[in-house]
Amino acid sequence: MPHELPKTYEPGAIESRWAEYWVREKLFHVETPPAENKRPVFTLLLPPPNVTGRLHMGHMLNQTQMDIVVRWHRMRGYVALWLPGTDHAGIATQMMVERQLAKEGKNRGAMGREKFIERVWEWRREYGGAILDQMKRLGASVDWRREYFTMDDNLSRAVKEVFVRLYEDGLIYRGKYIVNWCSDCGTAISDLEVKHEDVPGKLYEIRYPVVDGKASSRDEDKNKDDFIIVATTRPETMLGDTAVAVNPTDERYSHLHGKHVLLPLMNREIPIITDELAQPEFGTGAVKVTPAHDPNDFEAGLRHNLPQIEVIDEHSKMNANAGPYAGLDRFAARARIVEDLAAQGFLVGTKDYTIALAKCDRSGTIVEPRLSTQWFVKIAPLARRAIEVVEKGYIRFTPENYGQIYLNWMRNIHDWCISRQLWWGHRIPAWYCTEKDCNEVVVAREAPAACKCGGTHLEQDRDVLDTWFSSGLLPFTTLGWPEATRDLEVFYPNSLMITGFDILFFWVARMIMLGCWFMMPPHKPGKHGPSDEEALRASVPFREVYIHALVRDADRQKMSKTKGNVLDPIEVIGQYGTDATRFTLAAMAAPGTDIAFSESRTAGYRNFANKIWNAARFMFMNVDRVAGGLRPAPDPADLHPQKGVARFHTQTLEDRWILSRFNRAARDVNESLHTYRFDEAANRIYDFFWGELCDWYLELIKPRLNLEAGADTAAAQAACANLVNLFEAALRLLHPVMPFITEEIWHAIYDGKPPLKSIALAAYPTADDRQIDLAAETDMAILQDLIVSVRNLRAELKVEPKVKVPIEVFAHEPAIRSMLEQNLRTILLDRPANVEKITFVENSLANRTGARSTSRFDVHANYEKKIDVAAERERLTKELEKIEKQLTGAQARLSDDNFLTKAPTHVVEGLRKQVEESSVLSEKLLAKLRELGENT
């Protein structure tokens, strides 16, 4: 029988089977909704993993959260589109293939561009799907039919379109500026790809002799004002100095204005200029100016028309301009230069100095600020809108503080260098006329046939675009832009973006800038003044951004290959199952803190899955045995519109109680998911399923299910039906977090013939307030107290586990007494507390040995064994102390007028009630302590 589950829970087998099933059955394919669509729409774009990537814990966290949100929306009746794809990852992929070539003894230079690119495509065909295959194993409910790759034809066309439009709007320009140059990658990189690292270094003070122009007299050279001292951390760049700057307000140097210095080693005369660049407080107040190798100096150079002398080449070696140092690596040159300066008496001092060293994020190579002709995006106009939409709340961040971080960054943004000296990527759609003296640049969607000068030889720019340029367009290009598609109309803006902080600026910020620019209809070149708020609101790429935490190892260390502490999600899954791993990530995803991923935690959630598994086995066992194969009628009407528990018979207290608890759980879980509190949602389900359903409800219905004991078939069948219906609803509640085990058991409930193809298509439970039963919860709490009290007594009295004890119960409040009388049947307490007979008595049992008391009842176990009086007295004393302390505090507050007038009523009332109960209890404890004293 299909519903007969194997005895042991083995996630591996179940999970791969359903993962395949979901893909094969195309369960998550989303048709473009028709014009008359009334269903709400939910759109989510998968942050495309690098095509070279392997799944890591960060991906898994990210995807787990996305899958939870998407499954939840789908079950709530949304048209839920989750769009998957991969990123061509320019540098990463190119390097990967180059390494492969190197092993074959080839290199791309010899191969040529065309062949190399063909080779990259081959690589991609062969290995590029790996990470998405891994995703399938995670159960990601994406629409695979819509899978994209950033180099697809349609996306590439859109990239060109964007480039051309931005160029036509004057927002893309080409020019020779200082860029971050990575000599290892052989390309310019953007500011974001540079990471600064504080390292100990040296600050060199160098004496530049002053000469008074060409007509300097030798006499003056002997004065002590004959030199000016500059400080630098990079002495090798001095070879390219074209000025020394002093601050115009710095009186120490006013007599030198307009004079020149003789550049040591190079013997080149360079002017002393006055510029804000030099800050009087720093060092000597004089700074060397190297326009070709420093961004600040570059600007100063423009202000003063200084020549730009490059001395370091693209391989970070000194070039011909470096005279005797030509050919040396920049650091070798530094050493030699310092040596030579010292030898010639120019080196005044060397100080220890902490340097914020700029390194290439990818290769770790020290980045060289280098003069280079590149393409840039003029970012200010785009940033303006991107700031506006966040300030106005058209895009909301969770956690909120990321909105501020985003704004700070966006307000200080610099132009974006978008050209890369690579082969793999979107080639820049610009052509240069090769005719002599024609410097025409043509930016066009297609290769132009001829230049306006008449020349027909046009060469396309050799560079490609920054990968983030194309991924920044994905929220609309994946939906068919620049065509005005129905998809675009329905699915844009995306509802949500879930991603990590690490790509907030790289990607999220760029998507917002580009989305708000291109999706602001109608597109008016050059006009971006205040316009229709609705249009602006509708232009955002997504309405909300959820930033998730970083997954660290159990010791809070960042996972990194070099540290060797990287956890492979596939291995973790292999060991504990995808469901348990997903649950761990969800349960630990409290906002604001990183996740210290602990396997012991995962093992705990594997145990939770096992608990569910066994509870299901218990259910099926009873369905077959007791109820003769009873199954819930698979009425589809009960499933999709049905939000809660279908046809539940509230015959007993525990029935009413569990139904109430289920509704509370459903309410809480929905609320938590609304605010992306995955941790709360997961923990809430855990507590309900294990702590209430399994620990209490299952135990309490066992007597009814046990035919041999009572043979009430009708009651047994009702109990069984309740269990099945409750379980079914609980599975739906859990499904977004643990999709596999819930799918497996759900199908089993329907004997393999479910009314829908998947639990993922069933309705998500919502709370029905009418089923929340406060009275049942209160009564049940008393009953639970009583059972726990009996268990405590058994432990105290050291009753052998197998021995059943008779108990006596006293309750002074008639209502509670009658409630207990109604619900406390021996059979009910048999299993939970091993009780064999219950007698209600008329007098308090509080002072009896072998009794326990709460403010509502006393319970006494009839058992011969002597108790450990000393231990009992200690326990009672401790408890009494605690209660007395509370009582004193509470009474003090209740007699304080200030408290009584200022505190809200419910707090005062609550406290009064507490005092009442504590008083009763403390008297009972006292009575018992007296009794104990007399007995010893």
Partner RNA sequence: GGGCGGUUAGCUCAGUUGGUUAGAGCGCCUGCCUUACAAGCAGGAGGUCGCAGGUUCGAGUCCUGCACUGCCCACCA
Using CB under 7 A as the binding rule, the residues of this chain from 174 to 213 that contact RNA are 191-192, 195-196, 198, 203
Task: DSSP letter for 319, please.
Answer: -
Candidate residues 473, 609, 805, 809; the one interacting with RNA per rule CB under 7 A: 609
Q: Site mask, RNA, residues 92-121, x = CB under 7 A?
A: ------------------------------
Are the C-beta atoms of 430 and 52 separated by less than 8 Å? Answer: no
Summary count for the chain: helices (H), strands (E): 32, 29
In this complex, which beta carbon is closest to RNA, that of residue 161 or of residue 594?
594
Candidate residues 216, 321, 598, 650; the one interacting with RNA per rule CB under 7 A: 598
Name which of 840, 820, 825, 861 is nearest 709 in CA terms: 825
By CB under 7 A, the residues from 794 to 823 that bind RNA are 795, 801
In this complex, which beta carbon is closest to RNA, that of residue 485 or of residue 914?
914
Q: Residue 279 corresponds to which amino acid?
A: Q
Token pair in block for residue 86: 């991969």
Q: Which of these ranges, 17-25, 275-283, 843-851, 864-872, lies near RNA under the rule CB under 7 A?
A: 275-283
**Least separation, in Å, of the C-beta of 461 and RNA?**
26
In this complex, which beta carbon is closest to RNA, that of residue 295 or of residue 574?
295
Q: Site mask, RNA, residues 360-399, x = CB under 7 A?
A: ----------------------------------------
How far apart are alpha carbons 828 and 835 in whole angstroms? 9
Task: Compute how many residues bind RNA; rule: CB under 7 A.
Answer: 96
Site membership for RNA, residue 409 (CB under 7 A): yes
In this complex, which beta carbon is closest to RNA, that of residue 5 or of residue 117?
5
Site membership for RNA, residue 234 (CB under 7 A): yes
Candidate residues 100, 233, 460, 826; the one interacting with RNA per rule CB under 7 A: 233
Q: Residue 499 corresponds to which amino acid?
A: T
**Least separation, in Å, of the C-beta of 634 and RNA?**
24
How far apart are alpha carbons 564 and 551 in whole angstroms? 15
Candidate residues 111, 164, 590, 927; the one interacting with RNA per rule CB under 7 A: 590
**Least separation, in Å, of the C-beta of 911 and RNA?**
5
Site membership for RNA, residue 348 (CB under 7 A): no
Site membership for RNA, residue 698 (CB under 7 A): yes
Q: Is 768 helix (H, G, I), strand (E, B) or coil?
A: coil
Q: Site mask, RNA, residues 538-577, x = CB under 7 A?
A: ----------------xxx-x-------------------
How far apart are alpha carbons 288 and 240 in whole angstroms? 10
In this complex, which beta carbon is closest to RNA, that of residue 282 or of residue 331?
282
Token pair in block for residue 878: 């401790």
How far apart are alpha carbons 913 and 553 in whole angstroms? 47
Name which of 6, 78, 21, 12 is nearest 743 in CA terms: 21
How far apart are alpha carbons 702 and 721 in whole angstroms? 13
By CB under 7 A, the residues from 125 to 144 that bind RNA are none
Are the C-beta atoms of 86 and 132 separated by less than 8 Å? Answer: yes
Cis-peptide into 264, omega within 30 deg: no
Site membership for RNA, residue 891 (CB under 7 A): no
**Least separation, in Å, of the C-beta of 917 and RNA?**
6
Token pair in block for residue 175: 């020019």
Site membership for RNA, residue 667 (CB under 7 A): no
Site membership for RNA, residue 839 (CB under 7 A): no
Within the chain, what is the greatest distance between any pair of CA atoms?
Answer: 123
**Least separation, in Å, of the C-beta of 606 and RNA?**
5
Site membership for RNA, residue 621 (CB under 7 A): yes
In this complex, which beta carbon is closest to RNA, that of residue 5 or of residue 140?
5
Site membership for RNA, residue 600 (CB under 7 A): yes
Site membership for RNA, residue 10 (CB under 7 A): yes
In this complex, which beta carbon is closest to RNA, that of residue 603 or of residue 782?
603
Q: Which of these ranges, 273-281, 379-387, 737-745, 860-868, lies near RNA under the rule CB under 7 A?
A: 273-281
Site membership for RNA, residue 596 (CB under 7 A): yes
In this complex, which beta carbon is closest to RNA, that of residue 709 or of residue 869?
709
Q: Which of these ranges, 95-103, 117-125, 226-234, 773-781, lies near RNA under the rule CB under 7 A?
A: 226-234
How far apart are alpha carbons 604 and 584 in whole angstroms? 9
Site membership for RNA, residue 407 (CB under 7 A): no
DSSP-assigned letters across all residues of 281-310 = TSTTSEEEE-TTT-HHHHHHHHHHT-----
In this complex, which beta carbon is closest to RNA, that of residue 70 or of residue 182?
182
Helix, strand, coil tally for the chain in percent (to 5): 50, 15, 35
Are the C-beta atoms of 310 and 318 separated by less than 8 Å? Answer: no
Q: Are strands 396-398 and 542-548 parallel, antiparallel or unpaired?
A: parallel
In this complex, which beta carbon is closest to RNA, that of residue 195 or of residue 757?
195
**Least separation, in Å, of the C-beta of 351 and RNA?**
11
Q: Site mask, RNA, residues 299-338, x = CB under 7 A?
A: ----------------------------------------
Name which of 693, 743, 702, 402 is nearest 547 in CA terms: 402
For residue 177, give every residue at least 6 positions away whose Cβ sits within 8 Å of its Cβ, in sequence order, or none.
298, 371, 372, 374, 376
**HEC readout, 107-151:** CHHHHCHHHHHHHHHHHHHHHCCHHHHHHHHHCCCCCHHHCEECC
Q: Which of these ranges, 473-481, 617-625, 638-646, 813-821, lies near RNA under the rule CB under 7 A?
A: 617-625
**Least separation, in Å, of the C-beta of 118 and RNA?**
35
711, 715, 719, 725 alpha-carbon torsion, rounded to 10°: 130
In this complex, which beta carbon is closest to RNA, that of residue 69 or of residue 609?
609
Site membership for RNA, residue 401 (CB under 7 A): yes
Task: Strand 858-861: give its sheet, edge to edge.
Answer: 835-840, 805-810, 858-861, 851-853
Tokens 């159990």 label which residue?
554
In this complex, which beta carbon is closest to RNA, that of residue 342 or of residue 890?
890
In this complex, which beta carbon is closest to RNA, that of residue 457 or of residue 563?
563
H or E stretch at 869: helix 869-894
Q: Which of these ranges, 96-104, 652-660, 675-683, 865-873, lies near RNA under the rule CB under 7 A?
A: 675-683
In this complex, which beta carbon is closest to RNA, that of residue 310 or of residue 796?
796
By CB under 7 A, the residues from 778 to 797 that bind RNA are 788, 791-792, 795
For residue 530, give every residue at least 6 positions away whose Cβ sits within 8 Å of its Cβ, in sequence order, or none.
none
Candidate residues 51, 230, 659, 723; the one interacting with RNA per rule CB under 7 A: 230
Token pair in block for residue 693: 């359903």
In this complex, which beta carbon is closest to RNA, that of residue 113 or of residue 902?
902
Site membership for RNA, residue 404 (CB under 7 A): yes
In this complex, which beta carbon is closest to RNA, that of residue 192 or of residue 829?
192
How far apart are alpha carbons 159 and 471 in whole angstroms? 9
Name which of 559, 492, 550 is nearest 521 in CA terms: 492
By CB under 7 A, the residues from 893 to 912 that bind RNA are 893, 896, 898-899, 902-904, 906-907, 909-911
Q: Residue 305 region, left (φ>0) first, then alpha (ψ -120 to 50), else beta?
A: left
In this complex, which beta carbon is closest to RNA, that of residue 147 or of residue 699?
699
By CB under 7 A, the residues from 503 to 532 that bind RNA are 505
Distance between first and last Cα of the chain: 63
How far apart are alpha carbons 902 and 905 in whole angstroms? 9
E strand map for 212-329: 227-232, 243-246, 260-263, 268-274, 286-289
Site membership for RNA, residue 614 (CB under 7 A): yes
For residue 34, give every residue at least 6 positions away whose Cβ sits within 8 Å of its Cβ, in sequence order, or none.
none
Residue 538's Cβ-count burial label (10 Å; 0-12, 13-18, 19+) is middle
In this complex, which beta carbon is closest to RNA, that of residue 285 or of residue 291?
285
Site membership for RNA, residue 766 (CB under 7 A): no
